[in-house]
Structure 1
Amino acid sequence: MLRRHFEFIAVMMLLIITIVLIVVKYGLLKKVVVKNDYIPLKRVCKRPRTQDDDPCRTQTNALISLRIISPFSSNYCAGSLIAPKWVLSSAHCFKDLDNGPFFAIKSNDAYNKYLTTSLKPSKVQKVFIHPNYTKLDHQNDIALAKLKTGFRGPYIKLNTVKGTVPCEVVTMIGVGRTNLKFSFEKPPKPICVDVSMISIPHCSLQNTIPAELMEGKYCTTTGCYKGDSGGPLLCNDIQVGIVSTDVSVNKPVLHTKVDIYYESFIRPTIKSNPVVKHVNVKKKSIIKKKNNVKRKSNVKQKTVVL
């Protein structure tokens, strides 16, 4: 009886090994994942810049991948790291998802440290959505996420001066996700794509959105990213916009202007919710005791001298 049991286990193991070898040999797993998960960016994007000496490499280090339910789930939205514990993103990334839980991971770390113990996600402690955000037309589509544990820089600089952006060509950052299906495939490398600014009247015609609803928005040609809502739009390495609409290859993209919300929402939200530094009380008491001992010994020495 025991012999038959071992024979059955041996046959099952042999069958599993055979299936794995067939999958590896013919690349079946890779074909399924690529078909359902990603589209090669070079086929879709007009001008991706992916070399290691890319001038936007520093900015991709400040790109945040937002996850829901689990830090190991798929990237569903993006954000920009503007301070150790603060991420700037879109309101619609948080509004309709029943309070998470949400997690943040640096996109470059998700690529370079995939499935390693050195990948350090941070839980989103609290989300601040603009009080006047409207779901129907994505007005005031801006939010701040406060993290439980902070990330090291670099941090993205924000446009704080109201007025027109001096760039005809601006830069979008993202990972080029095409759907939200779970996959063990390594996440793609974050890249930058140059896109052109479009006038609001022209954008309104292409998007069939009334021009009056585009107040507080920038409009650009498509950046081909899906799942990168909330990501940054850069002009001369300064963030001027936040990806607001669902990205389509054939339609212009709307971005929430950063400058008009800096003094009214971003700055006061961060100021009224300061990061509390936790003090180790036990360590503090030990240091205090040591200082008291030193003081006593000094007094004793003085007494002896006298």
Structure 2
Amino acid sequence: MITTLRSRHCVTGSVIVNGDTLSDGAMQYMASVQNPMGHACGGFLVSDQFFLTAAHCFEDQPVRVVLGKHNLKESNKGQTIDIEKFFKHDSYKDVGFGNDLMLLKLNKNPEENGVKKIDLPTQNMKVKANDLCQVAGWGATQTHGVNANVLMATEVPIIDMKTCKEVWHHLPHNVICAGGYNTTKGFCQGDSGGPLVCKNTAVGVVSFNRHNNCTYKKEAPNVFVDISKYMDWILKTISFSGADGSRIVGGREAVPHSRPYIASLQSRGRHICGGLLVKEDFVLTAAHCLTPVPYTVVLGAHSLAANESSKQTFTTVRSISHPNYIGHANDIMLLRLNTTAKLTAAVQLIPLQRGRLRAGGKCITAGWGDIGDNNTYPNRLREVNVTILSQRSCSGRWGAVPITRSMVCGTGMDNFQGFCSGDSGGPLVCDGAAAGVVSFSGRRCGNPRTPDVYTRISSFRDWILSVVNN
């Protein structure tokens, strides 16, 4: 079924058919989502550091966004910012099954010059049949044509769902149909991830069309994800994206090489997530640290900047997320290295904790990153003391966010101590054993009102051992 659906769809590229070139200053929320080869998908700015695009764009292995630039060939304009994290919708499997949404978190906020956010719809906002809306992107103007370099847009009419379902037969839930049917206008080969804009509001995300055919007359309608149906997910993901990056706040510098199990997961020389060495060729980390390109894993480091003889460097050859990972639940992943680590004084395995932790217990978490919740990033490993909270106390503080038995919560000894926006994948160490993996926190670093949350390793011990031993 998946193969059949995918064979109908053309979901890559960035192509507007029978559109007009936009002037500089128009649609300042638009971004070119790029991989090392160049433009791959469209996207649009919805929050200070977040872009919305299509989940299937993850397959193009994007690494950066270019914004504030209408002509992609103009080297003296716009901003290029690296992608720090990918948040695919929890239920996404394939475009034909829907939920084709992904948030991209950038590694820094864009400068405001020439860049603006676009409004998102309310949860009950509905578009009406025959309303005229806009779709935009960079690319070809006809089937299998050569991509253009200048941003283009075209008006497309909203198509009523009854007609759309009659033409498509098997249509996923929570979509909008517009263009590509009884009109010569629409997108082609995707403009994947770009917005459908109605009355200055982004109501849809480009998802798929049919047969790679952009000569629109009697083809099936273009299909967009209906953003209004996913506002809860978008807002929660942005609000609780807390376990991204790598930050220890209110702590201290660790004694060099006193945490010989800790790993730095890097992309293009930049630290992204933490991890811990559980077997000579396996590193344990958080599932939300998954990226579309292999990590460089550095072991035996204290300073990420210094040329330390103790360092060993590897490449990941396989990423194995827990099969039931969804949202914050089961947020755990194993990375297999391209070769085995040599155990030395600075590189050691850490045992896995077995039993449950008692409330009030004293532990430690460690990582490289922001030390003041103000984008101050040290190169040397830092650590902070952690006090374990009961599940009941943690659940009471987090309120609507579910805290399950496979999670463990902790706070710093003082207010505003702990990890900040994560040190994602880093360890919680109790009595010399790995008890947790950094998962998520609140908007403010170390705030005891929203305690730091770790994935409880003892709940996944059997899974971990079955993977690393097979």
Regarding TM over 0.5, the answer is yes
Q: State how 1:136-151 maps to structure 2 within 5 Å.
A: 137-151=96-110
C-alpha distance after superposition, 1:195-247 (max 9, x if no partner): 0111223223333x32xx33200001131343511100011010101011147
Among 165, 172, 176, the residue aligned to 2:135 = 172
- Alpha-carbon distance, 1:113 to partner: 6.3
Percent identity, aligned pairs only, is 24
Q: Is the 8 A contact 1:172 1:232 kept in 2?
A: yes
User: Quick check: 1:259 aligned with 2:228?
Assistant: yes
User: Quick check: 1:64 aligned with 2:25?
Assistant: no
- Alpha-carbon distance, 1:161 to partner: 3.1
Aligned-partner Cα distance in 1 for 2:14–2:152? 14
Q: Is the 8 A contact 1:138 1:244 kept in 2?
A: no
User: Quick check: 1:161 aligned with 2:123?
Assistant: yes
Aligned-partner Cα distance in 1 for 2:140–2:374? 36
RMSD: 3.1
Q: Is the 8 A contact 1:174 1:228 kept in 2?
A: yes
Q: What secondary structure, in the 3-state scheme, does the structure 1 residue paired with 2:98 have?
A: coil
Q: Which residue of 1 aligns with 2:165?
A: 204
User: Quick check: 1:109 aligned with 2:77?
Assistant: no
User: Quick check: 1:271 aligned with 2:239?
Assistant: yes
Aligned-partner Cα distance in 2 for 1:101–1:52? 26
> In the superposition, relative to structure 1, how do residues 149 and 197 fare at CA in structure 2: closer, same or farther (>3 Å)?
same
User: Quick check: 1:127 aligned with 2:75?
Assistant: no
C-alpha distance after superposition, 1:41-88 (max 9, x if no partner): 7xx41xx343649xxx532x21111111x2xx2311111111231000
Gaps of 5+ in 2: 1-12, 181-185, 245-372, 379-470
Q: What secondary structure, in the 3-state scheme, does the structure 2 residue paired with 1:76 have?
A: strand
Aligned-partner Cα distance in 2 for 1:256–1:67? 21
**Which amino acid in structure 1 is aligned with residue 173 of structure 2?**
E
**Which amino acid in structure 2 is aligned with residue 224 of structure 1?**
F
Q: What secondary structure, in the 3-state scheme, does the structure 2 residue paired with 1:115 have?
A: coil
Q: What secondary structure, in the 3-state scheme, does the structure 1 residue paired with 2:159 have?
A: coil
Gaps of 5+ in 1: 1-36, 282-306
Q: Which residue of 2 aligns with 1:89?
A: 53
**Which amino acid in structure 1 is aligned with residue 104 of structure 2?**
A
> In the superposition, relative to structure 1, how do residues 113 and 149 fare at CA in structure 2: closer, same or farther (>3 Å)?
farther
- Alpha-carbon distance, 1:38 to partner: 10
User: Quick check: 1:239 aligned with 2:210?
Assistant: no
Q: Which residue of 1 aligns with 2:38?
A: 74
Where relative contact order (Cα < 8 A, 6+ residues apart) is larger, the structure is 1
**Which amino acid in structure 1 is aligned with residue 55 of structure 2?**
A
What is the TM-score of this pair, normalised by structure 2?
0.42
> In the superposition, relative to structure 1, how do residues 77 and 238 fare at CA in structure 2: closer, same or farther (>3 Å)?
same
Among 206, 216, 219, the residue aligned to 2:174 = 216
> In the superposition, relative to structure 1, how do residues 93 and 38 fare at CA in structure 2: closer, same or farther (>3 Å)?
closer
> In the superposition, relative to structure 1, how do residues 112 and 79 fare at CA in structure 2: closer, same or farther (>3 Å)?
closer
Count of aligned pairs: 220
> In the superposition, relative to structure 1, how do residues 103 and 138 fare at CA in structure 2: closer, same or farther (>3 Å)?
farther
Q: Which residue of 2 aligns with 1:50?
A: 21
**Which amino acid in structure 1 is aligned with residue 204 of structure 2?**
G
Q: What secondary structure, in the 3-state scheme, does the structure 2 residue paired with 1:244 have?
A: strand
**Which amino acid in structure 2 is aligned with residue 126 of structure 1?**
K
- Alpha-carbon distance, 1:103 to partner: 1.1
Larger gyration radius, structure 1 or structure 2: 1
> In the superposition, relative to structure 1, how do residues 93 and 231 fare at CA in structure 2: closer, same or farther (>3 Å)?
same
Aligned-partner Cα distance in 1 for 2:109–2:131? 34
What is the TM-score of this pair, normalised by structure 1?
0.63
Aligned-partner Cα distance in 1 for 2:191–2:208? 10
Q: Which moved more, 1:144-153 or 1:164-173?
A: 164-173
